[in-house]
Amino acid sequence: MCGIVGYIGHREAYPIVIKGLQRLEYRGYDSAGVMIYDGNDIVVSKTKGKVVDLEQKSAAINMSGTIGIGHTRWATHGVPNDVNSHPHVSNSGDLVIIHNGIIENYAPLKEELIKRGYVFHSDTDTEVLINLIEEVQKKEKLKLGKAVQVALNQVVGAYAIAVFDKKNPNEIVAARLGSPLAIGIGEGEYFIASDASPFIEYTSNAVYLEDGEMANIRLHKQMKVRKIKDDSLVDPYIQELKMNLEQIEKGGYDHFMLKEIYEQPSVIKDTYRGRLLANEGIIRMAGIEDNLEKFLNADRIIIVACGTSWHAGLVAEYIFEEFTRVPVEVEYASEFRYRNPIIGPKDVVIAISQSGETADTMAAIKLAKEKGAFVFGVCNVVGSSISRETHAGAYTHAGPEIGVASTKAFTTQITVLTMIALRLAKAKGTLSNTDYHMYLQELELIPEKVKEALGTNDIAKEIAATFIDAPNCLYLGRGYNFPVALEGALKLKEISYIHAEGYPAAEMKHGPIALIDEQMPVVVIAPKKGHYDKIVSNIQEIKSRSGRIIAVVTKGDTEVRKLADFVIEIPETSDALSPLLTTIPLQLLSYHIAVMRECNVDQPRNLAKSVTVE
């Protein structure tokens, strides 16, 4: 959540900052602001609303200057309004800050600063932080970098910050703890951002600050990185960015979400490229090979994740237990750390996160490591916090996912987790050679079958037109496709704001059946493999109560077709791999319903792409 952009160099800063904020809109926000240093003074413009509103407000202001910082805010302390928007300025008017995260002890700090004569204009914890930095700077007569370091050692919470001092206008100080921050290094210029997307066209060299690090970024000088705790110097690792500009543009699609749905055939292939050699019967993943004994000796596997990643973990639970015969538990990361879980050295914890920055998942990882477990990360963003915090891991290679509602993240996570399960099953001998080779061959065919499943777009659009005014929707699935029912319901909730629930189909009789009438659309995932006869019985129960049935079936199905009001066909595949196909029409259905309801598909209300606070 929230987005940070900063620039210091020889170009006009305002266009870079504004474009950068637009690139970070996917993170979710409710207000935006920018500060430009014009050579003599700071100029601040900020407003409730979107970046386009900020542009309109700034149009009448001279925003010329080569140093600037900008921010998109997702409200935590204080309602979304102009005053609470970032940047925030200190009482003297000299210091300016933008901040992602939460300062948990802001209240006692604020009380103490008020006693010392400070006046506060907003309800934010961020305004407390900038005035704390100013107080430290004045009281101890420190330069900005040292004042920031001293002040941050007094705060409790999470942050990514960029601070500017107009008395020393050739420097920006950046710091992070629990919230991502990247610094792009150009020729005589630096860029600061929550991720690399705002500066990808300017430089391919970036430093990702580690937790507890701060950077003094000075014009015409080498950047210095230090530890916040003890001020010791750090030798930063400069990464070469693999992302390109085309990946973060819409490419002719109306929305990023639709583009990302249609990217799934290629990104699934990218996920297994070089790892899956079906004809040779080989799965090769460095993170697994290097730690194979840890997995083979595990008493159990614990999967921790949130949201869509949690649903991918549920699919993996079925796959791991079926293939490897190792017990698996899937936990909400947000609950895991608070229930005093029993974890030991023979447990393997798999943490799943698209962004690699999810605060609850990060906290779960730290707890698992403290208890002695081996922690393996599955994430999409190279250099993210989870990729650095875990003992080992695997990237999904899905490319940037800009739409807030995850689509390609889900299918690529399942792809990675399936490959891990197959590799372990091969090593343990828990899967016959025949089945092992069948799954490898079938997984290799999945991208083409996903492409075929995308051909259901027109029927999904037709169904969407029928149900755009439905107040509720029920999703049912069994076995491997129960988590797909949960994911389908989540997608509809997230982007169309229609209340939807996912259930195991057999659980319908234990409550939800009371809701079914002629007004209730029921999406039933009913591929031919698996518990087909049972789910046909569930469909008959819905039909007898006048429910309106949307069925996702295997191509050529006749039995469900007789009962359903609408049928969406997908190609045939094995039961274990069917979630990679059954989820596709559900993504398309949610997308078209949201578009027809005139919802903001890529930036749904109240949601953030990367949830970096608990």
Catalytic, out of 2, 306, 379, 473: 2
Distance of CA 12 to the CA centre of its chain: 31
User: Would you say 317 and 417 are in contact if contact means Cβ atoms under 8 Å apart?
Assistant: no
d(C-alpha 96, C-alpha 13), whole Å: 16
Catalytic, out of 50, 110, 493, 609: 609
Q: Which among 302, 332, 305, 295 is positioned nearest to 317, based on CA atoms?
A: 302
d(C-alpha 551, C-alpha 567), whole Å: 5
Give the number of other Cβ atoms within 10 Å of residue 519's Cβ. 13
Give the number of other Cβ atoms within 10 Å of residue 227's Cβ. 14
Distance of CA 53 to the CA centre of its chain: 25
Q: Which two tokens stand for residue 107?
A: 């209240």
Identify the DSSP state of 178.
B
- With a CB cutoff of 8 Å and minimum separation 6, the contacts of 569 are 456, 553, 554, 555, 556, 557
Q: Which residue has the tokens 């079914």?
A: 516
> What stretches of 337-379 show up as alpha helix (H) in DSSP?
359-370
Amino acid at position 377, single letter? G
Active site residue 229: no
CA 608 vs CA 54, 81, 581, 613: distances in Å: 19, 18, 26, 11
Q: Which among 51, 47, 46 is positioned nearest to 603, based on CA atoms?
A: 51
Identify the DSSP state of 501.
E
> What stretches of 454-599 show up as alpha helix (H) in DSSP?
457-467, 482-496, 532-543, 559-563, 579-596
d(C-alpha 358, C-alpha 3), whole Å: 15
Q: Which among 323, 387, 331, 328 is positioned nearest to 355, based on CA atoms?
A: 387
CA 532 vs CA 316, 324, 537, 557, 560: distances in Å: 21, 24, 9, 11, 10
Q: Which among 168, 169, 163, 134 is positioned nearest to 151, based on CA atoms?
A: 134
d(C-alpha 591, C-alpha 15), whole Å: 32
- With a CB cutoff of 8 Å and minimum separation 6, the contacts of 546 are 516, 517, 518
d(C-alpha 410, C-alpha 490), whole Å: 12
d(C-alpha 171, C-alpha 356), whole Å: 29
Amino acid at position 470, single letter? A
In degrees and rounded to multiples of 5, residue 261 shows phi and psi of -60, -45
Active site residue 609: yes
d(C-alpha 460, C-alpha 586), whole Å: 8
User: Would you say 58 and 70 are in contact if contact means Cβ atoms under 8 Å apart?
Assistant: no
**Burial readout 425-447 (b: 16 or more C-beta within 10 A, e: otherwise):** bbbeebbeeeebeebbebbeebb
CA 456 vs CA 523, 524, 544: distances in Å: 15, 16, 27
At residue 611, the 3 state secondary structure works out as: coil
Q: How many residues does the chain have?
A: 614
Catalytic residues: 2, 609
